[in-house]
Amino acid sequence: MNRRVVVTGVGVVSPLGASTADTWRGLCEGVSGAGYITRFDAQEYDVRIAAEAWDFDPAAVLDPKSARRMDRFCQMAIAAGLEAIRESGLDIAANADRIGTCVCSGIGGMATWETQYQILLEKGPSRVSPFLIPMLVVNMASGNLAIEVGARGPSMTVISACASSLHGIGESYHMIKRGDADAMLAGGAEAAVTRCSVAGFGNMKAISTRNDDPKRASRPFDRERDGFVIGEGAAVLVLEEYEAARARGAEMLGEIRGYGASADAFHMTLPAENHEGAQRAMRSALASAGLAPGDIGYVNAHGTSTQMNDAREAVAIREVFGAHADHLPVSSTKSMTGHLLGAAGAAEVFACLYGMKHGVLLPTINYEYPDPDCRGLDFVPNVAREATYDNSMCNSFGFGGQNAVLIVSKV
């Protein structure tokens, strides 16, 4: 089977707001979601800034008992999933056995692990929560969302670091195309602003130490970038078979047109020279979509604000798009949301879909000093622009050299 797959709903929890509307407004206005860490006391840390999901309140979507039995990443996944279903209008009960979940995470319940390990050390094994394992394991975002909404189709999780949710959307797309499901709730959730996580990323020099100016810390492709700003949030998309969506009169936000994946097979954390693996993933996505490089009107870059990633991704885009790269808008919304790790790809597909729907090119904020290593691309500096375009590419590249690229198009 080769069925078409469309997106009929999106839900987002991000540092810019606890809904799609608030997040979209912040993206269009070029707002930074970064600030000083409140999830723990970071005064002794070299890194004291993050992009937390400041407005998220689990009580808005979960009763207190249920909330206590879920890590924060699961709580946000359910909030985003419920919003996506509301926007879609999908009746899950009418086709529950054919509707699945694939909500992904790179790290999962890190906060739960840290808290319960401290209890183990201080109070002994008998005091560790019986909910420790079901709270921290990464698949529970998918599992809990399926339980919450009664989706009885395929339920799984992809873990590929910062490419997790884009891989999850791509694999869900394939499941619908080949007839294994009629709809999927696909995306990602991450809540890794924790003591151990920030210490680990900080000690590997991956995150920004611009503690005196958090709003300007995430600056993808800028010459003065010094690392990413760790963020938290969730984004879930309702993917649906085209004919079924049309039959019920659903509004279609866009179509999943192509998907590519590759491995660098090079290094644990560094991208390959000229980001050769990313090039193969982008070319694979274009071939899957049946599109030429010149058909792409916008690229939402992985653009983490790290020295090596941004420079090598820019080279890869130049190599794949050739002369078209001179006219191709490329921006990184991580400049505003921070890096949502395993949830980043799904949040950035949302940005692509809404950008096409509303005729907006989202900016790369904090872009002040052009870096010659980033090859002079149009990074849509600092201010959103009006534009009409039909096809967008979204890039996500994870530690371990695991690459995912998705192409979404107007229907």
pLDDT tens digits, one per residue of 57-73: 999 999 999 999 999 99
- Please name the residues in contact with 39: beta carbons below 8 A apart, sequence gap of 6 or more: 50, 52, 111, 193, 194
User: Which residue is listed with tokens 């993808």?
Assistant: 220
Q: What's this model's pTM, rounded to 2 decimal places?
A: 0.97
pLDDT band at residue 273 under the 50/70/90 scheme: confident
CB 165 within 8 A of CB 394: no
C-alpha to C-alpha distances, 369 to 207, 247, 267, 354, 379, nearest whole angstrom: 19, 50, 29, 28, 12
pLDDT tens profile 177-220: 999 999 999 999 999 999 999 999 999 999 999 999 999 999 99
Q: Following DSSP, what letter does each residue of 375-386 receive, concatenated?
A: TT-B--BSS-EE
Q: What is the mean pLDDT of the chain?
A: 97
**What pLDDT score was predicted for residue 377?**
97
C-alpha–C-alpha distance, residues 12 and 19, integer Å: 5
Q: Which pLDDT belongs to residue 16? A: 98
The pLDDT of residue 278: 97
> Given 28, 74, 162, 352, which residue is catalytic?
162
If DSSP codes are grouped into helix, strand and coil, which group holds residue 52?
Answer: coil
- Checking if the pLDDT of 221 tops 90, the result is yes
Would you say residue 306 has pLDDT above 80? yes
Determine the pLDDT at residue 272. 86
CATH 3.40.47.10-classified regions of the chain: 5-247, 257-409
- Interval 126-168: pLDDT, tens: 999 999 999 999 999 999 999 999 999 999 999 999 999 999 9
As its CATH architecture, domain 257-409 has 3-Layer(aba) Sandwich (3.40)
Predicted local confidence at residue 110, as pLDDT: 97
Active site residue 327: no
Of 302, 352, 374, 394, the active-site residue reads 302
pLDDT at 1: 73
Superfamily of domain covering 5-247: Thiolase/Chalcone synthase (3.40.47.10)
Distance between CA atoms of residues 379 and 347, nearest Å: 19
Determine the angle formed by the axes of helices 20-29 and 344-358, rounding to 10 degrees.
70
- Residue 174: active-site member: no
162 an active-site residue?
yes
Q: What pLDDT sits at residue 85? A: 98
What's the pLDDT at 274?
A: 82
Q: What percent of the chain has pLDDT over 90?
A: 98
**One-character DSSP codes across 217-268:** T--TTBTT---BPBB-EEEEEEEEEHHHHHHTTPPP-EEEEEEEEEE--S-S
Task: Tell me how far apart the alpha carbons of residues 302 and 403 are, in angstroms, rounded to a whole number.
Answer: 10
- The one catalytic residue among 74, 102, 339, 394: 339
